[in-house]
Amino acid sequence: LNTGLVNTYIHGDSFVIVVCFMLFVSFACWLLSVIMRNYSQVDRIWSIVPFVYCWHFLIHSYLNTNQWNDRLLCMTILSTMWGLRLSYNFYRKGGYNPKDEDYRWPELRKIINNQFLFQIFNITFIALYQNILLLLITLPAYYAYLCVDIPWTLYDTIGTVSFLIFLMIESIADQQQWNYQTKKYSLINAGKPLLGVYKVGFIHTGLFRYSRHPNFFAEMSMWWCFYLFSWCHTPYLNQTIVGTILLTLLFQGSTSFTEGITKRKYPLYGKYQETTSRFIFLPSTFNGD
């Protein structure tokens, strides 16, 4: 039986296999959300399934060619570095606690206050669309899978170096945000007043002085860099750009929704919005007053 399954996997179409797996994961996320009444199931696998897809393409290629492809191996390592770091950041914020739910979903349930309509939204967007998107952003690895005979190119080097730079920026931004929030809540829990940079309630120093969401900017940029690897198959413009564009659009909508919540919570956030760039690093005049 095991040999039969392995042979089926080896000789199966790599794209069909990954699509079937994505549909299974989508169904599992939907089922768990209904059973647990917690709609953060996709959030918990967001940083995991993309590099799993990359490992699939790498291993499937090796099993059929009996050699490791440099480009695919590099893409898999980069996506794994991204995923493990993001998973750790999610873990330390309590994201993998089964009872934890992203604060945006309860807010959204207030807007879509009809249970039937929210379940339609859960099936179509939360469970299915987001999982489709997670597959789409990794499809440059499928194009790399299709052109294993093409040597390493300058585009691959640019993609690798740029990806690592933005990974470093995202890591720094997440750490700065973690340090700020940890200190702020330690002061609150100790009953001490919030003074200095903590009195506004949100981080606006470090990288956040030049961008309201430097981590989001770096996240989007990394997947644009990842797209460069697909140029080995079809240079400049090809179908795999769809995932990168959709991810970028998702961040636009998600950020607007998140900032709406933040603005209601912190009075000075509106001024921060007026004086500080949303994503791209630019000078700011915001000083916390």
Residue range 8-52, pLDDT digits in tens: 899 999 999 999 999 999 999 999 999 999 999 999 999 999 999
Contacts of 212 (CB under 8 A, 6+ apart): 259, 272, 273, 276, 277, 278, 279
Considering the entire predicted model, what is its pTM?
0.94
Cα–Cα distance, 32 to 22 (Å, whole number)? 15
Per-residue three-class SS string for the chain = CHHHHHHHHHHCCHHHHHHHHHHHHHHHHHHHHHHHCCCCHHHHHCCCHHHHHHHHHHHHHHHHHCCCCHHHHHHHHHHHHHHHHHHHHHHHCCCCCCCCCCCHHHHHHHHCCCHHHHHHHHHHHHHHHHHHHHHHCCCHHHHHHHCCCCCCCHHHHHHHHHHHHHHHHHHHHHHHHHHHHHHHHHHHHCCCCCCHHHCCCCCCCHHHHCCCCHHHHHHHHHHHHHHHHHHHCCCCCCCCHHHHHHHHHHHHHHHHHHHHHHHHHCCCHHHHHHHCCCCCCCCCCCCCC
Q: Which residue has the higher pLDDT, 287 or 243?
A: 243
Count of alpha carbons within 13 Å of 54, Cβ hemisphere only?
Answer: 28
**Average pLDDT over the chain, rounded to whole?**
95
pLDDT above 70: residue 124: yes
Q: What pLDDT band is residue 146 in, cutting at 50, 70 and 90? A: very high
pLDDT above 60: residue 1: no
Share of the chain above pLDDT 70, in %: 99
Q: What pLDDT band is residue 289 in, cutting at 50, 70 and 90? A: confident
Residues in the chain: 289
CA distances, 219 to each of 2, 115, 202, 258 (Å): 39, 33, 20, 16
Q: What is the pLDDT of residue 2?
A: 63
70-92 vs 214-227: helix axis angle to the nearest 10? 160
Q: What is the pLDDT of residue 245?
A: 98
